[in-house]
Structures are given as structure tokens and as C-alpha cells.
Amino acid sequence: MGAGSLIMLFICGVAFAGGGIALSWVLAKSSPNTAKGEAYECGIPSTGTSWIQFNVGYYLFALIFLVFDVELVFMYPWAVVVKEVGMVALVEILIFMFILFMGLVYAWKKGALKWM
């Protein structure tokens, strides 16, 4: 196991990301003023914060994604051993995928997959 290599890469990544930010902080000039510090809205004075409540429909996708992702995780060990286990595994996953697909069809029919 290359845990050592992973740690090394981790250090490299952090050093590069942190070093870049630090270097530009040292090199770049800074002359702040209030106009620069405002949120950009095409030149018009910005109205209010953008941290407001959004429509709940947006995170339906995230919910459905979560369910599918867990199902997907089950399919990896299956795909690795399907040749060993044979026919039983194939039938099993076909049933599994059929039920999964029914869920998708249900969400589809209910209009949950419609982007607003």
C-alpha cells in the first residue's frame, strides 16, 4: 500500500496550493477601496446579500443522487466477482437494477427530474 506516497503527494499538493496563495499575497500590490470590495453585479450597486433562501426543488436532485450513489457502491463489488459467482449474481443484479430503475421512473413521472 502506498500510504507513504499518498502522504507525500498530500504534502506536495498542500505546499503548492498554499505556496501559490502565499506568493501572490507577497508579490501582489494591494490598494483596497470600498467600490472594489462590493459584490459585482454588472456595475449596478448590489441589492442585498445573495445568502437567501432558494427553492426546495433544487436539492431534490441531491437527494435522488444520494440514493443512487449508495446503490452504485453496491454494484462495484458485484462487478468484480460476477464472473466467479456466475448466473445467480447476474439475475440478482438484474432484479436490483429493475427496482432501482422503477425508482427513477417514479421520480421522473412525479416531475422530480424537472429543472426549475
Smallest gap from Cβ 45 to another protein, in A, equals 12
Closest CB 24 distance from another protein, rounded Å: 4
- What is the C-alpha radius of gyration for the chain, rounded to an integer number of angstroms? 25
Question: DSSP letters of 40-93?
Answer: PSTTSPP-S-S-----GGGGHHHHHHHHHHHHHHHHHHHHHHHHHH-HHHHHHH
- Which helix or strand (DSSP H or E) is residue 109 part of? helix 87-109
Q: How far is the CB of 48 from another protein (least distance, A)?
A: 9
Chain centroid, CA 59 distance in Å: 12
Grid cell locating 71? 446503490
* CB 34, min distance to another protein, A: 7
Q: What is the grid cell recorded at 79?
A: 462487478
